[in-house]
């Protein structure tokens, strides 16, 4: 079966539209993430209860990605992406109005479901734009998400500093995000499965391999984001400012590298890009673990961000280009495994650190990056479909 993709006379507009979808998704996440402390205070929850409420968003996203892929294939990613963008905007208002554990958990669960479905749909639409003749754009699309998340968090932080409560901020943001979602409906490239939709598909064969590699990549990302600052504090007695700088350098270097990832993909090829990126990430993490100097460790985490930047976009491109499988279904199958790694990675590192040391537990990520170096080259060096 083939996918019916209408070729637009102006692919630049279509590419900008799907980049806008990534930006909107990142903005909604960043706006919410920056106000997490305020929402915790508003709901009067202890750390344990609030942690379980936060888990609802991750669980909702991971569990619904496969079904979200089927929806994108059945109704069109150009329909599901703006629809879920508007849904994310609306549910943000409910998150801002949450007053207890139940209201917050339900709101975050729905938020995770909508974010996960939008994630699959917009990635699949990006693949459709590539296949329509725009060339590689996936890395830049993921850079748009990073820029959106950073911008949303920055703006939300400034709003909080002005003393504005969560609910009015989220209500105003929702209007803007929903309006942008409506615009997407009329500007995104039509992308719908020719026979009316693919079937639900669990990762098997090549998709299972790509999913496992995505799991390792996102587990490394999540561990660096959540534990790099704590690692500097606990092992090197670094100040809070230096600890925060480790996370900032990691995420910033990843965003910058994604802006040039598509050009590198054309020049080096997907296999070399993923394998070489994993090698750079491994070298950076090894440097951070070996040299107990905060400045050196920060440089190491920066190298890790540069190396990991193109891994997930490239693996998603490969998943969305499997013969006989709609892009949204292939991406959903792989992203389900991948984002599960981002979900379980930080708790696994924390559990092992409780038994051994945090420094020792991060060696697990080194082992996964080693597998990614070899497995990424083998999986992506096969003849492209």
Give me 40's structure tokens: 């915790």
Q: Please indicate, yes or no, if residue 201 is contained in any of the structural domains.
A: no
Q: Please indicate, yes or no, if residue 200 is contained in any of the structural domains.
A: no
Domain match, 253 and 298 both: yes
Calculate the alpha carbon distances from 281 to 131, 142, 148, 194, 254 in Å.
30, 18, 24, 40, 11
Domain match, 166 and 100 both: yes
Mean of the per-residue pLDDT values of the chain: 84
Asked whether the beta carbons of 254 and 305 are under 8 A apart, the reply is yes
d(CA 273, CA 276): 5
Q: What is the pLDDT of residues 84-133, one digit of tens each?
A: 999 999 999 999 999 999 999 999 999 989 988 898 899 889 988 988 88
Domain match, 211 and 163 both: no
Asked whether the beta carbons of 152 and 27 are under 8 A apart, the reply is yes
- Output the pLDDT for position 246: 80
Q: Please indicate, yes or no, if residue 316 is contained in any of the structural domains.
A: yes
Closest by CA to 190, choosing from 82, 294, 118, 107, is 82
Q: Please indicate, yes or no, if residue 196 is contained in any of the structural domains.
A: no
d(CA 201, CA 328): 10
- Output the pLDDT for position 371: 94
d(CA 224, CA 52): 21
Looking up residue 345, the CATH number of its domain turns out to be 1.20.1250.20
- The more confident residue out of 213 and 68 is 213
Q: List residues bridging with 3 in a β-sheet.
A: 193
Domain match, 220 and 153 both: no
Q: Please indicate, yes or no, if residue 194 is contained in any of the structural domains.
A: no
d(CA 39, CA 42): 5
- Output the pLDDT for position 290: 93
Give me 287's structure tokens: 């440097």
Q: What is the dihedral of CA 221, 32, 164, 37, to 10 degrees?
A: -60
CA 210, chain centre distance (Å): 16
Instruction: Show Cβ contacts of residue 84 under 8 Å, excluding neighbours closer than 6 positions.
Output: 114, 115, 117, 118, 121
Decide which of 127, 154, 188 is a domain's last residue: 188
- Output the pLDDT for position 203: 62
Q: What is the pTM of this model?
A: 0.75
Domain match, 220 and 366 both: yes
Domain match, 347 and 219 both: yes
- Output the pLDDT for position 48: 67
Q: Is the pLDDT of residue 384 over 60?
A: no
Instruction: Show Cβ contacts of residue 287 under 8 Å, excluding neighbours closer than 6 positions.
Output: 296, 297, 299, 300, 303
Q: Is the pLDDT of residue 195 over 50?
A: no
Instruction: Show Cβ contacts of residue 21 under 8 Å, excluding neighbours closer than 6 positions.
Output: 81, 82, 85, 118, 122, 125, 184, 188
Q: How many domains does the chain have?
A: 2
Q: What is the mean pLDDT of residues 27-40?
A: 83
Domain match, 179 and 103 both: yes
Q: What is the pLDDT of residues 246-298, one digit of tens each?
A: 877 887 888 889 888 888 888 888 899 999 999 999 999 999 999 989 999 99
The per-residue b/e assignment along 330-355, b for 16 or more CB within 10 angstroms, e otherwise, is bbbbbbbbbbbbbbbbbebbeebbee
Domain match, 145 and 66 both: yes
Q: Please indicate, yes or no, if residue 251 is contained in any of the structural domains.
A: yes
Q: Please indicate, yes or no, if residue 104 is contained in any of the structural domains.
A: yes
Q: Please indicate, yes or no, if residue 198 is contained in any of the structural domains.
A: no
The domain of 121 spans 7-188
Instruction: Show Cβ contacts of residue 355 under 8 Å, excluding neighbours closer than 6 positions.
Output: none
Domain match, 223 and 170 both: no
């Amino acid at each position: 079966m083939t996918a019916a993709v209408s070729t637009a006379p102006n692919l630049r507009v279509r590419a900008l539209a799907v980049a806008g979808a990534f930006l909107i998704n990142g903005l909604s996440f960043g706006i919410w993430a920056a106000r997490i402390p305020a929402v915790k205070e508003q709901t009067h929850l202890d750390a344990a209860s609030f942690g379980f409420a936060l888990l609802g968003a991750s669980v909702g996203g991971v569990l619904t990605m496969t079904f979200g892929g089927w929806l994108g294939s059945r109704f069109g990613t150009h329909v599901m992406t703006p629809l879920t963008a508007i849904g994310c905007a609306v549910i943000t208002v409910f998150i801002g109005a949450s007053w207890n554990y139940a209201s917050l958990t339900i709101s975050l669960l729905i938020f995770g479901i909508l974010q996960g479905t939008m994630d699959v749909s917009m990635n699949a639409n990006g693949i459709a734009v590539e296949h329509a003749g725009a060339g590689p754009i996936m890395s830049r699309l993921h850079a748009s998400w990073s820029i959106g998340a950073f911008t949303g968090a920055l703006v939300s932080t400034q709003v909080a500093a002005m003393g504005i409560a969560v609910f009015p901020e989220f209500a105003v943001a929702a209007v803007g995000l929903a309006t942008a979602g409506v615009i997407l409906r009329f500007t995104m490239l039509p992308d719908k499965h020719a026979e009316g939709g693919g079937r639900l598909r669990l990762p098997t064969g090549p998709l299972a391999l790509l999913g496992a590699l995505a799991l390792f990549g996102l587990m490394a990302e999540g561990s660096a984001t959540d534990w790099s600052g704590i690692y500097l504090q606990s092992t090197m007695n670094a100040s809070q400012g230096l600890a925060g700088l480790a996370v900032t350098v990691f995420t910033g270097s990843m965003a910058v590298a994604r802006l040039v990832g598509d050009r590198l993909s054309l020049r080096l090829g997907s296999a070399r890009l993923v394998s070489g990126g994993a090698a750079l990430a491994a070298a950076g993490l090894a440097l951070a673990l070996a040299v107990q100097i905060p400045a050196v460790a920060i440089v190491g985490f920066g190298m890790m961000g540069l190396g990991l930047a193109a891994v997930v976009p490239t693996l998603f491109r490969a998943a969305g280009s499997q013969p006989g499988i709609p892009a949204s279904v292939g991406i959903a199958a792989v992203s389900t495994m991948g984002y599960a790694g981002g979900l379980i990675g930080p708790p696994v590192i924390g559990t092992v650190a409780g038994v051994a040391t945090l420094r020792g537990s991060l060696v697990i990520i080194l082992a996964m990056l080693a597998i990614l170096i070899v497995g990424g080259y083998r999986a992506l060096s096969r003849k492209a479909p």
